[in-house]
Structures are given as C-alpha cells and as structure tokens.
Amino acid sequence: MSNILIIDDEKAIRKTLSEILSYEGYKIDEAGDGEEGLKKLREKEFDVVLCDIKMPKVDGLEFLEKSKDINADTPIIMISGHGTIETAVEAVKKGAYDYISKPPDLNRLLITIRNAMDKNQLVAETKVLKRRVSKVQEMIGESEPIKRIKDTIEKVAPTEARILITGENGAGKELVARWVHEKSPRAAGPLVEVNCAAIPSELIESELFGHEKGSFTSAIKQRIGKFEQANGGTLFLDEIGDMSANAQSKVLRALQEGKITRVGGDKDISVDVRVIAATNKDLLKEVEEKNFRLDLYHRLSVIIIHVPSLNERKDDIPLLVDKFLADVCADYGIAKKAIDKDAITALQQHDWTGNIRELRNVVERLIILSGKAITRDDVESYVLPKK
C-alpha cells in the first residue's frame, strides 16, 4: 500500500484530499505546515507528497528545497491556490514533480499521483540497473595514495606495459586492474580473470592454455584456455604468487614469445594479450625463497602499482562509508541511512585488517542492525569488539 503525505494549512482541504485518497486505497498522513511536513518526512518513507504553497512557518517552496536533503527521490506535487500558479510553475522548475490547482479536479489529482509513483519506481529501478550494468565500480578516495594510483592508471593504461599490482587482501587490487583495462585501447576486448590460488596446481596449465581432447583422463573435449579467451584484451592473473613452478615457466614463455600451446597439443598459437598480475605476497621475498621465478617477476613488473591498506588512508573512510551506505541501501531498496559524525570517527579508529572489503561488510551490517541512523553506540557494539 502506498503512503501519501498531505501538507496544507487548511484543514478542510486536508480532509477532502484525505478522504478521496483513502477511498482510493492510499495510506494518508497529514501535516499542517512545511515544518511539520519535514518532520514527518524524516520519520517515514512516502511515495508521494502533496504540498500546499502558501503556508505559515515553512512554506511550500522552502519545504521543497529542504526535503531534498531528507529524501531527494520522493516526488512532490504542489497544490496551488489562485494566487500561486506562478510559484507552482517555479516549484516544478526547482524539482517538484507537478502541480494541481485548488480546488483539485479529482481525475487529474489521481492521474498525477499515479504518474508520480510510476516515475519514481522507474527511477529507482533504473538506478539499480545502472549500477549492475556499469562495468567498473567507481574508485572512491581523495587521499594522496589514491590520487597517485588514479594518476598512474591514466598514464599506464594506454600503453601495453605489463603491470604488477600489490597490496593486502581487500585493498582494491582487482578494482585497479579493471580500471586499467577499461581505460586502455583494449577496453572493447575481453577482460579475463584467473585466480591462480583457487585452481589446483595440476589443473592450472589447462586453465591457462587450454587442452586438446584426450590429453589427459578427464579431458573429454577440447578446451580453450584463458590466454586464448583474452586474445585482443587483458588477462588478469590474480594471486600470481600462488602459481606452481611449472605454470610459471609456461607463463614466462607465453609472455616472451606471445605464443602458447594447449596441453596435449603440438601447435603454437599466437595470442595478443596484455597481462596484469596481482598478489598480496611480497614477491621478491618469494623469489628469495625460490618460490617464484625472478625472470618472470621482471617480465610482470614493468610497472608496479601498490594499493595501500585502508589503515594507511583512513582519511578516505568518510567518503567510502557514504558510498557504501548509498550502494547497500539502494540494493535493499530503502532510503539511504544517515550516520552520525562520531560513528564515522569510531570507524576511523578501527583496525581494518580486511581493508575495503571489510569496511563494506561492516557498513552493510550497521545498516541492518542499527535504528533510524547509525550511531557511535552501534559501531561500538557491532564493529569494535572483535577480539
């Protein structure tokens, strides 16, 4: 059932509108002036607001303006008296959905309300869809390290240089890789990901280079590997520090010669692939400990982009929290939740071992568990005591 808020200082008008709309099945709240209207808007979600123009205390135009800070998406329909048509037109220019004249024509009133609701639903759906469709998430942050990373991406993306991305779990390495691809001339080509840590070592070669039918027991049909799939695009080798020695030497060959051979095959296949690798390990230490080939390391690390941990850029936390509040609430189809300043301060004091991924999960948890707004108490009870 849809909620409508009627704001008018004339009790008789509120009563008439309320009766008509209740009869149509809407749930009605009333307010006698803009100030009371704003209070109701803060307390509850409305699908449509009907708002008179001339009112004591806060008038219709001021209500319209202030309501945007509370819930920018709720459509507002102005109710215009004889002397206020011009103001009503101005209100529409300032973002009101439409206006109706007093005394309201029943049909026009109902149609306008229904259209406003339809439009609002479309806007909400479009927002969700847009976020699903848009290929790469925005990279949030204005701290020095993030600015430097964005700057580096701008410079290296247009080139063919191989890139090694380092950083802790959840710091945003994959996001960097996606942006490099997106801003490169290969953006129209595929971005193919391989998580080297997730694939058993005996299968990684077949995963990367493919295999011919019958080349080993379970190879019941031919398979195209990730290098071939990424032809013309970018291959993202995630967790490269976990790659087996055997696979390392084959990858090295592929990088040196631009050619691969399918497992069990005898043909060389040329591939045009830009490789971006990522790791949360200290690869040079792995080299020292003979777990990683030095020559491969050099091939991969023409450019190194280090993504700092969240603890090193806590200045970005307010922006990130704001973004995650918006994203998660949009996913849940609810209005964006407010968060107190000192709750954000408390989040900045937290030790973020799981980095941005952990922050996003924490924001989601707070949205679910907190009351009307997220408070410092919420942070203290749901986030901090982890030990």
Ligand X SMILES: Nc1ncnc2c1ncn2[C@@H]1O[C@H](COP(=O)(O)OP(=O)(O)OP(=O)(O)O)[C@@H](O)[C@H]1O
C-alpha 372/C-alpha 339 separation (Å) is 9
Query: Residues 154, 237, 261, CA angle at the centre, nearest 5°?
Result: 120
Among 34, 75, 141, 210, binds ligand X (CB under 6 A): 141
Give exposure, 164-200, as e/b (b: 16+ Cβ within 10 Å).
Answer: bbbbbebbbbbbbbbbbbeebebeebbbbbbebeebe
Query: Residues 173, 178, 184, CA angle at the centre, nearest 5°?
Result: 130
Among 34, 75, 170, 225, binds ligand X (CB under 6 A): 170
Stretch that binds Mg ion, among 113-121, 149-157, 172-180, 266-274 (CB under 5 A): 172-180
Name which of residues 17 to 46 contact ligand X (CB under 6 A). Answer: none
Residue 41 contacts which entry, ligand X, Mg ion, none (Cβ below 5-8 A, type-dependent): none
Stretch that binds Mg ion, among 56-64, 82-90, 167-175, 208-216 (CB under 5 A): 167-175
Contact status: 241 vs ligand X (CB under 6 A):
no
Of 10 and 315, CB closest to ligand X: 315
The distance between the two most distant Cα atoms of the chain, rounded to a whole number of Å, is 88
DSSP label of 105: P
At 386, the amino acid letter reads K
**What are the residues facing 330 on neighbouring strands?**
none
Find out whether 245 and 286 touch, Cβ atoms under 8 Å.
Answer: no
Residue 37 contacts which entry, Mg ion, ligand X, none (Cβ below 5-8 A, type-dependent): none
Stretch that binds ligand X, among 26-34, 64-72, 171-179, 336-344 (CB under 6 A): 171-179
Residue 170 contacts which entry, ligand X, Mg ion, none (Cβ below 5-8 A, type-dependent): ligand X
User: What are the two backbone dihedrals, phi and then psi, of residue 230, each rounded to the nearest 5 degrees?
Assistant: -85, 5
Contact status: 280 vs ligand X (CB under 6 A):
yes
Contact status: 172 vs ligand X (CB under 6 A):
yes
Among 174, 205, 207, 378, binds Mg ion (CB under 5 A): 174
Residue 338: how many other CB atoms lie within 10 Å: 14
Q: Are strands 223-224 and 210-211 parallel, antiparallel or unpaired?
A: antiparallel
Of 247 and 356, CB closest to ligand X: 356
Contact status: 168 vs Mg ion (CB under 5 A):
no
Residue 137 contacts which entry, ligand X, Mg ion, none (Cβ below 5-8 A, type-dependent): ligand X
Stretch that binds Mg ion, among 82-90, 174-182, 256-264, 292-300 (CB under 5 A): 174-182
Stretch that binds ligand X, among 114-122, 133-141, 179-187, 262-270 (CB under 6 A): 133-141
Token pair for residue 48?
Answer: 């449509």
Among 2, 120, 137, 348, binds ligand X (CB under 6 A): 137
Name which of residues 328 to 357 contact ligand X (CB under 6 A). Answer: 356-357
Pick from 17, 23, 159, 166: which is nearest to 79 by CA?
17
Q: What is the separation, in whole angstroms, between the first and last Cα of the chain?
A: 45
Catalog residues that contact ligand X under the rule CB under 6 A: 137, 139-141, 167, 169-175, 280, 320, 356-357, 360
